[in-house]
Amino acid sequence: YVPKMIDHVEQLMATLVVTDQGDTGCELPTFAVKRPCYLVDLTNAEPKMDLEVGLENSLSINGEVFVDASTFVFEMPVGEVISMNLHGINLHPFHVHVNPLQIVSTPDDVYDGYFRQGDWQDTITLSESTATVRMQTDVFTGTQLIHCHNLAHEDLGMMVNTKVVGQEGARYTGARSIDPSCYLDDEPSGPPTIIQAGMVPGSCGGAKCCVSAGGPSCPPPP
């Protein structure tokens, strides 16, 4: 049941007009950055828990709707990797508070590659009904809300509490085994590592062109 109140979401909110300003599009540099330890790649990590999260049954999560602040559907340990198998995300966008989500299993081509295996996402919605995501329950204990990110559905109760338990401040100890270069909150991340220099707009013989960043003013003649 979807009430009449959500009809307004299809009304026009704005119109964007994009015009060509004559700028020269140049190739950007490729680079690598160090990641914080709470964002290391969890694709091959061993999860402490494997949870099933169903969004396909009407406006509920695993058949449950929000009751009150002291009712929890899952209890998870802090400082661990948690895996969630999501079902029904073609119907309801899925969002978790506090901890970032990494997609570790999804169809090959989703929204022209916007959702890809290995990506970190805030909210996940797919044309296919299932995907697997993982997260670290990093540092913080207490209530962690999960919900449908359609506001009308959420307001009708499609959200539930989970609870992270254990010693406040605990971290996933396997992070540096996955990525030795990851850094903690009080450690410097350092500058990015340039893999291949990009190009910048320039002028060659009075015409706009792209030149090597930090290189000669114009590319050599053919």
Q: How high is the mean pLDDT of the chain?
A: 86
By CB neighbour count within 10 A (0-12 exposed, 13-18 middle, 19+ buried), where does 148 fall? Answer: buried
197: nearest Cα among 220, 213, 218, 178: 213
Look at strands 142-148 and 94-96 and give their pairing.
antiparallel
Report the C-alpha gap between 198 and 194 in whole angstroms. 9
The mean pLDDT of 200-218, rounded to a whole number, is 73
C-alpha angle 121-125-127 in degrees, rounded to nearest 5: 130
Report the C-alpha gap between 96 and 84 in whole angstroms. 11
Question: How much of the chain is helix, strand and coil, in % rounded to 5?
Answer: 10, 35, 60
C-alpha angle 186-188-189 in degrees, rounded to nearest 5: 120
* Per-residue confidence (pLDDT) for residue 199, from 0 to 100: 84
Q: Are 111 and 127 in contact (CB under 8 A)?
A: yes
Question: Which pLDDT band, with edges at 50, 70 and 90, does 149 fall under?
Answer: very high
Question: Which pLDDT band, with edges at 50, 70 and 90, does 8 fall under?
Answer: very low
* Per-residue confidence (pLDDT) for residue 135, from 0 to 100: 97
45-98 pLDDT, tens digit each:
999 999 999 998 789 999 999 999 999 999 999 999 999 999 998 889 999 999
Q: How far is CA 126 from CA 41, 97, 132, 189, in A?
A: 21, 19, 12, 33
Report the C-alpha gap between 118 and 35 in whole angstroms. 14
Phi and psi at 94, nearest 5°, equal -105, 135
